[in-house]
Each structure stands twice: as structure tokens, then as C-alpha cells.
Amino acid sequence: MRIIQYNDIVEQVSILCQEANVELGEDVMNAFQQALQTEKSETGRVVIEQLMENAEVAVKEYMPMCQDTGTAVFIVEMGQECLIAGGTLTDAINEGVREGYEAGHLRHSIVKDPLGRKNTGDNTPAIVHIEYVAGDSLTLHMTAKGGGAENMSDLKMLKPSDGLEGIKQYILDVVKVAGPNACPPLVVGIGIGGNFERCAYLAKKSLFRPIGERHREAEVADLEEDLMAEINRLGIGPQGMGGSTTALDVKIEVEACHIASLPVAVNLNCHASRHKQVVL
């Protein structure tokens, strides 16, 4: 058994929150660069240039790239052979979020009760998903997920007879309805299979894969590319002003499901696709 200290997790989480919100990943910057070459709309290119300049200003001034510094979402890969000393994993993550959002001058965007809507004042609670893996290391994947794109996400229990065509049509519909609201260019995260709640998780999980990295299975990878091309023919474009860059990437995760079901979830992410990870 390997012992990991509670305070070490707190410290790493605090750093993750701050870095994720300020430093846009290289994958997104490369995707912007590429989009600038292919975007057909002049306004679209102006928007992309503005986003690239924004990313530079954020790092230079060390300030958040977007004012919506998001819900802090974690996928934790917890080695079966590690033990946490000094408190629970969830508490450590929440304490790290509290510290990171304060130290980084990040916005507090969480309300305690969906009806009363009083701000918790420290951006907690974080959303924490734990997967158990072999080994003795602890990997924390973090994303700061903005509300604009999250609000336009959707899930549908399709019929198995709807097939691939039904799946594609549904995904295109979700992207169309979202239009400018989700801050395109988007990263479209898709879960196919599992059950009702698992499917939504798969869609979220798919967004943790870097832009440009295809699914390990050829069939799914092809579907990602197909959908990407179809989404970019919709004409929505950067910020929905019209153009050929609606998605920077499409990510799909697939899992087993019930004989009667075909769950599909679409979790939209904006261009401020903020992901960081650390291994303890």
C-alpha cells in the first residue's frame, strides 16, 4: 500500500484549478491555428483571431481566459493500492477547489440550492467521478466546465431501430439548437450506450481526450470524423455568426447497453476547453 497525504491532494488540486483556467491547452491553440486556414467567413476568422489573442493575454496577465471559470469536474483514477491519509478524497478535492478558486481570483459560480440560488461562495462542491484502476498511483483529471455549453447539452434514449442514422441526426439537431449559445467553435462530446446516467458520464469523459486524438477503435474514430465533417457543414461557425468552423473536434465513447436501449448523450464543450491532469 502506498500512502498519499490529504494535503498533497489539496495542493495539487488548487494548482490544477488555477492553471486550467488560465493556460489554454496546446491542442486547442493548434486547432485554432488550423481553423484560421480553413474558415470561410471573414467574421469567423476575426473571431478565431480574437480567441487566440485572448489566450495570449490570459497567460501574460495570468488571468482567467473566460469569466465563467466553471464547475470544477474531476475524473479520478484511483490505484487500488493507494490509501489516503488525513481525510477523504472528496474532501481533499473540495478543499483544493476552495483554495485554488480563491488564490487564482476565479469566479464563484456555484449555488447551494437550485431553487434558492444562494452562492456557496467558494465554487464548491466539485463534481467528482472515481474510477478504480490497478496500481498505486492517483491520477486527477480536471476540467473547468462552463455553464453556457453545459446548458445546451442533451440526452436521449433512442430506439435500437433508429440505428446509426438516428444517432447522427440527433447529434446534429443538438448542435443546431445550441447554435451560438454554446460558444462555438465547439468540442462535441458524445456518449453512446451504457444506461441513462452512464451515457451522460461517457459523454463528459470523452471531452477529457485531447483535441485531434481519435478513438482507439477504427470504427468509432471514423464516426468521429464523419460527424465532425457534417457538423462543420451546418454553417453555424465561430460564435454562431456563420462559417465553416462549428466544431474543433468530436469525441465519442461507446459502452455496452441493454437489448432494448440505445442511449445517446451529447455534452457540448465550448472552445474554452480547459483540461489539466496530474499524477500523484
- Site residues (CB under 6 A) for ligand SF4? 66, 68, 146-149, 182-183, 270, 272
Please say which residue, 87 or 179, places its beta carbon nearer to other proteins: 179
Strand positions, DSSP E, the chain:
2-5, 71-79, 82-85, 127-133, 138-145, 154-158, 186-194, 247-257, 262-269, 275-279
Task: State yes or no: residue 20 binds other proteins (CB under 8 A).
Answer: no
Name which position in 2, 38, 53, 85 contacts other proteins (CB under 8 A): 53
For the record, the C-alpha cell of 118 comes out as 444562494
Please say which residue, 81 or 226, places its beta carbon nearer to other proteins: 226
Max distance between CA atoms of the chain, in angstroms, equals: 58
Please say which residue, 152 or 167, places its beta carbon nearer to other proteins: 152
Separation between Cα atoms, residue 92 and residue 77, nearest integer Å: 15
Task: State yes or no: residue 96 binds other proteins (CB under 8 A).
Answer: no
For the record, the C-alpha cell of 49 comes out as 483571431
Separation between Cα atoms, residue 159 and residue 138, nearest integer Å: 38
Contacts (CB under 8 A) with other proteins, residues 191-220? none
Rg (CA), the chain: 19
What is the nearest approach in angstroms of other proteins to the Cβ of residue 129?
25
Separation between Cα atoms, residue 200 and residue 280, nearest integer Å: 27
Contacts (CB under 8 A) with other proteins, residues 149-178? 151
Whether residue 111 contacts residue 123, with contact meaning beta carbons closer than 8 Å, is answered with no
Residues 6+ apart with CB under 8 A from 2: 79, 81, 82, 83, 136, 137
Please say which residue, 183 or 188, places its beta carbon nearer to ligand SF4: 183
Cβ-based burial of 266 (10 A; exposed 0-12, middle 13-18, buried ≥19): buried
x/- letters, 213..252, toward other proteins (CB under 8 A): --------------------xxxxx-xxxxxx--------
- Number of residues in contact with other proteins under rule CB under 8 A: 49
What is the nearest approach in angstroms of ligand SF4 to the Cβ of residue 6?
30
Task: State yes or no: residue 40 binds other proteins (CB under 8 A).
Answer: yes
In the complex, residue closest to ligand SF4 by CB: 146
Interface residues toward other proteins, by CB under 8 A: 40-41, 43, 46-47, 50-51, 53-55, 57-58, 61-69, 105-108, 117, 119, 146-148, 151, 179-181, 183, 233-237, 239-244, 270-272
